[in-house]
């Protein structure tokens, strides 16, 4: 227990102390996010917050590596090195995008290559457990499936990063939840990585929550999503839990749902899927009348409920899990309908 606390505090304190330094650096080199009609912030704000988070995460990982030697903790060093190395590539990609910009397709290509590197180190979804027929092996299909999962989740966190503290807060909630799941599945090494990520995300929130003085930037949002995706593969999806696939989808339900909605919306509108718009979940909540803080707290609340549901699922039978998921789906539909009705009502009143 003391080791868990130490890892969390190292990443938390390091990020907390370095964020003001990174903010000053970002302002000096002109790495700022300027407001526009799609964005909700009103003033030019420093980005590159991912650099501080990365430093906090890496220092905590070093402590994990040293502690594993003294406390005889089993860690998959190859997978850990693969996650650290490939996530560093993602950080650099995001950094370049924050400084000078980068084409969407080039970013996607580099994300895919980084994901392939992680897969080559053992971060792979090789099977899914079935309550009736045992494990279903994916064979060679495990490579594209894992790459799709990692790249998809990386961009899901990137897309949800539209309000102060939203992506970093969701990551903190998801990391801590996945930490408990990894502990339950005896993936101690992965659990410590998740705690490192959660501590760094929480430390960054001191400066990122509304009103934010620094943003994650692509360097931060892509890094957070990538590490979350990789750790969910090693810590949950490679477990023997029957509902292993459901757990990370529940925990990260908000960014996943938001990304799927954005893709469907853009395909129907016949525009590029990378085309930015102001119709994400957080935008809709604000259009429904919530302030930025209220919208963020509402999404936090939903994420916490989904995370608690995911923890409960780990103790449930398959039939019970299906019932719970059905209830969650119905509640989500009602919630989406209420939000849409509220937006339509406010739009009608505005036109009057």
**Residue pointed to by tokens 């925990």:** 251
Segment of 1-5, 169-173, 183-187 carrying the highest mean pLDDT? 169-173
pLDDT at 287 over 90: no
Structure confidence at residue 56 as a pLDDT band (50, 70, 90) = very high
CB 30 within 8 A of CB 219: no
pLDDT in tens, 30-50: 888 877 666 666 677 888 999
Task: Give the pLDDT confidence score for residue 290 in this predicted structure.
Answer: 83
For residue 337, what are its two tokens? 């309908």
**Residue pointed to by tokens 């916490």:** 304
Structure confidence at residue 219 as a pLDDT band (50, 70, 90) = very high
Structure confidence at residue 346 as a pLDDT band (50, 70, 90) = low
CA–CA dist 169, 198 (Å, integer): 9
pLDDT at 340 over 50: yes
CB 200 within 8 A of CB 60: yes
What is the extent of the structural domain holding 7? Answer: 2-351
CA–CA dist 300, 183 (Å, integer): 23
Segment of 39-48, 65-74, 170-179, 229-238 carrying the highest mean pLDDT? 170-179
Please tell me what DSSP assigns to residue 139: G
Cis previous bond, 211, omega within 30: yes
Task: Give the pLDDT confidence score for residue 223 in this predicted structure.
Answer: 96
Q: Is 288 helix (H, G, I), strand (E, B) or coil?
A: coil
CA–CA dist 224, 161 (Å, integer): 11
pLDDT at 113 over 80: yes
Better-scored residue on pLDDT, 227 or 307:
227
pLDDT at 351 over 70: no
Better-scored residue on pLDDT, 306 or 179:
179
CA–CA dist 182, 234 (Å, integer): 9
76: left (phi over 0), alpha (psi -120 to 50) or beta: beta
Give the C-alpha distances (Å, rounded to integers) separating 198 from 13, 100, 159, 192, 311.
12, 29, 19, 10, 17
Q: What is the mean pLDDT of residues 129-141?
A: 70
For the question of whether the overall pTM of this predicted structure is more than 0.85, the answer is: yes
Please give the tally of structural domains in the chain: 1
φ, ψ dihedrals at 191, nearest 5° = -60, -40
Lowest mean pLDDT among 66-80, 149-163, 338-352: 338-352
């Amino acid at each position: 227990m003391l080791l868990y606390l130490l890892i969390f505090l190292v990443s938390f304190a390091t990020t907390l102390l370095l964020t003001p330094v990174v903010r000053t650096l970002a302002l000096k080199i002109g790495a700022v996010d300027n407001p526009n009609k799609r964005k909700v912030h009103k003033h030019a704000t420093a980005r590159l917050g991912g650099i501080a988070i990365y430093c906090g995460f890496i220092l905590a990982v070093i402590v994990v590596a040293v502690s594993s030697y003294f406390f005889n903790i089993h860690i998959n060093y190859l997978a850990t090195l693969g996650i650290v190395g490939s996530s560093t590539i993602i950080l650099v990609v995001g950094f370049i995008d924050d400084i000078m910009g980068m084409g969407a397709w080039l970013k996607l290509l580099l994300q895919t290559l980084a994901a392939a590197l992680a897969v080559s180190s053992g971060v792979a979804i090789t099977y899914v457990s079935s309550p009736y027929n045992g494990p279903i092996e994916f064979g060679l299909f495990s490579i594209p499936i894992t790459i799709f999962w990692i790249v998809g989740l990386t961009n899901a966190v990137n897309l949800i990063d539209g309000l102060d503290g939203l992506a970093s807060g969701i990551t903190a909630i998801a990391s801590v939840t996945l930490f408990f799941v990894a502990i339950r599945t005896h993936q101690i090494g992965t659990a410590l990585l998740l705690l490192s990520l959660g501590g760094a995300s929480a430390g960054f929130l001191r400066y990122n929550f509304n009103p934010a003085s620094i943003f994650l930037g692509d360097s931060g949002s892509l890094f957070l999503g990538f590490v979350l995706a990789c750790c969910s593969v090693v810590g949950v999806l490679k477990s023997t839990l029957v509902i292993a696939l459901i757990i990370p989808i529940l925990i990260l339900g908000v960014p996943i749902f938001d990304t799927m909605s954005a893709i469907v919306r853009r395909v129907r509108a016949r525009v590029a899927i990378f085309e930015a718009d102001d119709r994400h979940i957080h935008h809709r909540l604000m259009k429904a009348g919530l302030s930025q803080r209220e919208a963020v707290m509402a999404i936090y609340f939903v994420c916490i409920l989904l995370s608690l549901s995911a923890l409960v699922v780990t103790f449930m039978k398959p039939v019970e899990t299906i019932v719970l998921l059905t209830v969650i789906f119905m509640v989500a539909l009602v919630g989406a309908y209420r939000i849409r009705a509220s937006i339509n009502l406010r739009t009608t009143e505005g036109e009057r």
